[in-house]
Each structure stands twice: as C-alpha cells, then as structure tokens.
Structure 1
Amino acid sequence: MRILIAIDKFKGSIPASVAAKSIASALAQALPGAVCDLCPIADGGEGTAEAVVTALNGEWCEAATFDAQSRPVTARYGLATSAGQSEAVMEMSAASGLAMVSDLPLNPATASTWGTGLMLQDALERGVKRIVIGIGGSATNDAGIGMAAALGFRFLDAAGAVLDPIIANIDRLARIEQPVDFTPPEILVACDVNNPLLGSHGCTRIYGPQKGVTDFEFFENRVRLLADVAKRDLGADHRDVPGAGAAGGLGFGLMTFCGARLTSGFDLIADLVHLHERIAVADLIITGEGRMDAQTLHGKGPMGVADMAHELGKPVAAFAGAIEAEDQLRTRIDLLCAIKPKDMPLAEAMQRGPELLVAAVTTQAQALRDLMTTA
C-alpha cells in the first residue's frame, strides 16, 4: 500500500511540506502499513523553493540582499542536485516580494528587483549549473532593470552617466551597457501567466494596481522605452512573449538580460521532483491546497497532479480548506474533502490548519482504503 502525498500549500495556513507531513502522520495511525512518499508541489509561486528542496532532499542557504524598497534583508533559497548537476531553486518574492514591503506605503516608481539580482549573483558565485526561479508575488513593476543592474548591466543617460536602476529614471535611458564576460548558467523561470510586457494585458495594467500603480502611462512609457533600447543594444526583443509581463515584467528582464527560458510552473516542478515516476509506482495519490474551486480546474498544481494520476489509472483524493465547483472537480478527482468545519470562523481554521488536516484524513481513512482496493 503505497501512497503519494503530492500536495500544495494551504496559503496563509499550512506550508506544503507541513501539509504533507501532517497527512503522513495521520495515515501512519489510520492506515498502519501504508508507505507514504512525501512530494510537496508548487506551481511557480510562493512555496516553489520549499517544495523542490524538500522533494530533492536539498539544503538551504542564505544571501544578504535588499527588499524591493532597498532595506537590507536575508533571503533564503535552496541548493539541490538533479540529474547529476547542481542547481539553485529560488523565489523572487524572497527578496522582492510584495508581502515584504507591506508595512510601507506602496511606491512602485522606486520598487526594485535589485535584491533578486543579488540573490541570483550569490547562486552564480556558488557555481551552480542551473537556476530555477519562481516569480510570483512581486512588489515591482521595473521590468527587471534592478535585477540586471545587480548582475552588472549599466543603464546610461545621453551624457553617459549611470542611472540609478529604478523605473522612475528610465525616461532618461539612452543606452544599455552589458557586463564583460557575463555568462549565466541555464535559468528556468517558473511562470503560469501569459501576459505580454505591454498593452492592455501587460504587466502595468493587469498587475500594477495591486502594487500601487495609478498612472499607467508613466510606467508604460518607461517600460516601452526600455524594451526599445534593449532591442537595439542587446539584440533581444521579448516584449510580446507570453509571460514577459509576469512579476512586473521580470519575465521580460530575465529573458532579455539572462537568456532565461519561461516555462509552466507546474510542469517544471513536476519534472524536477520526478512526479510522473512517483505516481506510477503509487496505489493512491493525495493532493490538495488551501482552496479548490473553478480556478483549480485551469492548470493549478492539484489538478495537474490529478490529471497525471488519471492518465496512469491511479485514484486521487484531495483535501482542501474549502471546496467550490464541487461537481466539476468530482469529474477528475475521486474523493474530495474540505477540512474546515462549516461553523468554524476562517481565522480559527487557518490557525488550526495542521490539526484540522490530520482530523480530516483520519475521518476519511476507510474511504481512502476503499479507493485503493477498488482501483
């Protein structure tokens, strides 16, 4: 009886690794003899590094860097070995995330990805052969100029003076100067949005308001000028690539300045943790996240797990804090269970997340056993 626990985080309540361990502890009591394979998952946003480091038995390291408003912070990222090569696994939000500057008034004109660049530089100095970076949760709308400056790119005005790399200054950009002998390793960007850099569906208009953007033209004009100068000076024009607008244009910046490749967050993580192979040898798959609803049906991690499991003829159970669109979800998931009691306030349920998850798994133990015996 082998059970794969491939579960995402319960946002604001239970990290994916804690959720997996909680389920395993419940199963150890309720289904003695079951062998649990813990495989936390993510889709490129917060929790990506933790999921990969846990699944690959990697280790954590720390980098001295700055948040999006230039305050010193320490960012954590993972080091692991996959397919025989060393790689770093990080999230831009560890340095340039919106949550990190929530105590300050929003100021997107000065918000910078400089700290993310320093985190990348730290990984380069450790000699990694590949960097995987999730770019969800950003506080920035600078198209990656801060990140690029931290890696040695210089943004110059018409007189040849170096501009402070914040988007407010890019209206004076005349030239981009590349660092000498800059050869980054392979960089894979976990990204599950398809927004271009500019326009009505671009980073400024779609994601800017949550970061404090009110004057769309102020940002749009500067980002457009940056793209034009980068095309001329660097020979790269990624403004229309799906995902270029992710994380305030950091998707564009990583492609333009680092030669990065954008890829589906879930597909990338699934490949890194060998999810297909682990599903193939399991008798039951348990997945879930904090909230399962109509959005889950459109490529989110738990649905990716469920679809892969059903392709291999494996039964799937899902646990979530709350469940909506239940009829649609049941067409692709064999057992659904909401862990929050209906009469419990949400704040209390989030505080008691691991406890409620253990209780729900224990209650559903016989149903889980039945899934394995009837599959």
Structure 2
Amino acid sequence: MRVLLCPDKFAGTLPAPEVAAAVADGWRSVAQGDDLLIRPLADGGPGFVQVLAEALGGRRMPVSTVDPLGRPVTGEILLTTDGTAYLESAQACGLHLLSATERDPKTTTSYGLGLLVTAAVESGARTVVIGLGGSGTNDAGAGMLAALGVTPLDAGGAALPYGGAALAAVDAVDGVPRLRGVRLVAATDVDNPLLGLHGASNVFGPQKGADRADVLLLDAALERFAEVLQRDLIGCPAGLGTLPGGGAAGGIGAALLALGGGCESGIGLVTRATRLDAALDTADLVITGEGSFDHQSLRGKVVAGVAGAARDRGVPCVVVAGQVSTGRREAASAGVTDAYSLVEHFGGESGGGLDAALSRPAEGLRELGARLARQWSR
C-alpha cells in the first residue's frame, strides 16, 4: 500500500517533518511492507522555510534579527541556486515569540522582518519570497518598511514609535526602499484585505490580544497609513486597503503590495516544490493534519488543499490533529474521510488528554500511526 504523509506543523509542539516522522514510525511498527511517501507541508506560516529547505535544498543562512518587542532573535534565509531567497515572517514577528501577557498589537512591530528582507537582498537574491502567517503584529508592515529605509513620520517630521496604534498620527513617509531591484512575493493563503470588517485588525487582531476598542483604533490607524503610502510611496497601487491579501500577517501583505510585490498561494508554492501532485497520483491513502482541525482549517489551509486534491482523485484522506472540532459532515464535504484527535486518544480533556497532547505529541502520533495502519493497511 502506498501511503502519503503530508501534514502541516502542530503549532507550538512539533514541526511538520517531525509530525510526519512520528506517524510513519507508528505505521511501520504494524505494516513494514507498505510504501510511505513523506512530504511535510506548510502554507506561509511557521515551518515554511524548513519545509522548503527539505524539498528544494539550497543554503540556509542564519540572520540576527529582533522579535515583535525588539528583543534579539535568530532567523534564517533559504538561498536556492535559482537566485531565490525564502524567509518567513513568523521568525521575527511570530505570535509564538510573545508570552500571553506580552501580546499587544498596538505596540508590536514587524521591524525584524525588515532585517530578514534586508539580509536576503544583500545576499544577492533576485527574488525574495516571504511566507506570511502566525504573526503577532498589526502594524501594516510599517516596521518592516522602516528597516528597509521607508520611515513613517508624524506632522512634526519625527519618526513614529513602533506598533500599529502609532500609525494614527502618521503624516508622511520618507525615504526610498533599499531593494536593489529585487522582486518581492508574499506567500499567503489569506485573501483578507487590510481594512474593514474582513481586514487585518477586525479578523486577526483579537487573536493577537486586541479588544474591541483596540480593533477600532487599529483599523483607523491602518486606514490612515494606507492613505499616506498611496500618496507618498512611488509605485504603491491605488486602493491599497482593499486589495486581496493585504491583511495577511497583520497587514504586512499590504506593505509588500505597496512595494510593488505580488501575492502567491503559500500552500500552492509548497505543493509544487514538494511535487505533491505526483505523490497524490500514486497514493492509496493520504494522511494529513495540523494542531487544531477546526472551522478555519477548511478555508485555504494545508488540510483543505490536501483533502480536496485527494477527493478529486478518489483517494481517502485521513486527518490527524491535536484537537478536532470540525463536524463530520463539514469535513466530509471538504474531502476528509476521517479525523483522529490526540486529545481524544489520550482520554479526552476531562482525562488529561489536552495536557498529554501538548506534552507528548510525538508519542501520541506514533500510537495513532499504528492505529491507522491496523485500520487501513491491506
């Protein structure tokens, strides 16, 4: 039997390659003769660079940068032989870099991402692909722009403090982006615009610590910033606040569009790099997964893309997840044959299943892999 293992990361616990390896170990303990194809996946969020490095090869270059509060962290850039550099915003702007009490999108900044982009440009790359997702910022990429040489100013000509809230006072931007003609690509499967009810502040702000008053303040601040960018930044497209993808990663998508960049599907890019379509064509069973299989999973995320592709080929698709809250009917309509939860495997929340799923995910995935082999292997 040919089994394709193509999970996303389990956020906060295991990267995608380790998820796939754990399930594979469990499967092999029961059905050694089966052919396991391992293709870890990512969209644009955490794990994007690691998955692409395994698929494409190339050189991984460490880069000193800063987190959303300006503290030193180390990111990395993947440099491939075709002159493309890949990086991910979460390494500098990630929500996982902040404790629960530090999450405040009014003050967090994307400046560290600008340092990563600068390093990619200085490395000689001709194209820079930036994976967007998992951010703890809501500053419309203002910090990133400042690191690239485009400084937001107040009415007195002083540089604004970092963070989304300060953009309410933006009066101009000064400087020219130091990009050396590099082509920018935002890798994201989020099509939300920068502004409005479906924009960055309203949809994603609460996940990053914003209350209702914060959301209103941030949306107004980002609207002002978009107006200034359209007026002062050469090449910035009209209607910046309404362009699809502009709301990705707290509005970093909009900043990349303002710099003349384009948007590309993150999962589509990874699918091509890992040659997932060819693997799907020969699979008898597909196993995918992520940390939480919920209503958002079926809206442009890895699981939705994999399940839909499997359904189109008439191949059963099984989801393994830390938690499962998606209804069976909704999951089935997306192409999911069955779903397995680590929390339930460890006895449910009332039996300590959640704690076990968070502390012993690899163990649980190996046991689920063995269970799946007993149920599905020929």
Normalising by the smaller structure, the TM-score range is 0.7 to 0.9
Bigger shift: residues 211-220 or 67-76: 211-220
Post-superposition CA distance 1:213-251 (Å, at most 9, x none): 434454334322221222122342321012212222111
Bigger shift: residues 353-362 or 154-163: 154-163
CA–CA distance in structure 1, aligned partners of residues 177 and 96 of structure 2 = 35
Tell me the residue number matched to 2:272: 271
Tell me the residue number matched to 2:340: 337
Tell me the residue number matched to 1:202: 199
Over 6 Å off, 4+ runs? none
Distance 1:110 1:349, change over 3 A: closer
CA–CA distance in structure 1, aligned partners of residues 144 and 252 of structure 2 = 8
Q: Does 1:176 align with 2:173?
A: yes
Bigger shift: residues 56-65 or 157-166: 157-166
Post-superposition CA distance 1:16-60 (Å, at most 9, x none): 110111122233332223332211112222222222222334553
Q: CA deviation at 1:150?
A: 0.8
Where structure 2 has 5 or more consecutive residues not aligned to the other structure, the ranges are none
Post-superposition CA distance 1:184-221 (Å, at most 9, x none): 43332232333222223322233333434434454334
Distance 1:74 1:33, change over 3 A: same
Post-superposition CA distance 1:330-371 (Å, at most 9, x none): 45234543342335411112222111211122123243223x
CA–CA distance in structure 1, aligned partners of residues 91 and 29 of structure 2 = 36
Post-superposition CA distance 1:243-272 (Å, at most 9, x none): 212222111111102x22223332232223
Q: Does 1:112 align with 2:109?
A: yes
Q: CA deviation at 1:104?
A: 5.5
CA–CA distance in structure 1, aligned partners of residues 169 and 291 of structure 2 = 45
CA–CA distance in structure 2, aligned partners of residues 326 and 57 of structure 1 = 38
The AA in structure 2 aligned to 1:342 is: G
CA–CA distance in structure 2, aligned partners of residues 134 and 76 of structure 1 = 12
TM-score using structure 1 length = 0.86
RMSD: 2.7
Q: Does 1:290 align with 2:319?
A: no
Distance 1:314 1:58, change over 3 A: farther
The AA in structure 2 aligned to 1:338 is: S
CA–CA distance in structure 1, aligned partners of residues 184 and 33 of structure 2 = 41
Distance 1:199 1:328, change over 3 A: closer
Q: CA deviation at 1:162?
A: 4.6
TM-score using structure 2 length = 0.85
Q: How does 1:1-375 map to 2 (within 5 A)?
A: 1-80=1-80, 85-102=82-99, 105-158=102-155, 160-164=157-161, 166-179=163-176, 182-213=179-210, 214-234=213-233, 235-237=236-238, 238-257=240-259, 259-324=260-325, 325-330=327-332, 332-339=335-342, 340-343=345-348, 344-345=351-352, 346-370=354-378
Q: CA deviation at 1:123?
A: 1.3
Tell me the residue number matched to 1:373: none
Q: CA deviation at 1:120?
A: 0.9
Q: Secondary structure at the match of 1:208?
A: helix
The AA in structure 2 aligned to 1:223 is: L
Tell whether the 8 Å contact from 1:207 to 1:248 is kept in structure 2 after alignment.
yes
The AA in structure 2 aligned to 1:193 is: V
CA–CA distance in structure 2, aligned partners of residues 185 and 291 of structure 1 = 36
Q: CA deviation at 1:112?
A: 1.4
Distance 1:359 1:80, change over 3 A: farther
Tell whether the 8 Å contact from 2:188 to 2:263 is kept in structure 1 after alignment.
yes
- Aligned-pair identity (%): 35
Aligned residues: 366
Q: Secondary structure at the match of 1:198?
A: coil
Q: Secondary structure at the match of 2:356?
A: helix
Distance 1:284 1:320, change over 3 A: same
Post-superposition CA distance 1:264-321 (Å, at most 9, x none): 3322322232211222233432212233344433333123112212323433333233
Where structure 1 has 5 or more consecutive residues not aligned to the other structure, the ranges are 371-375
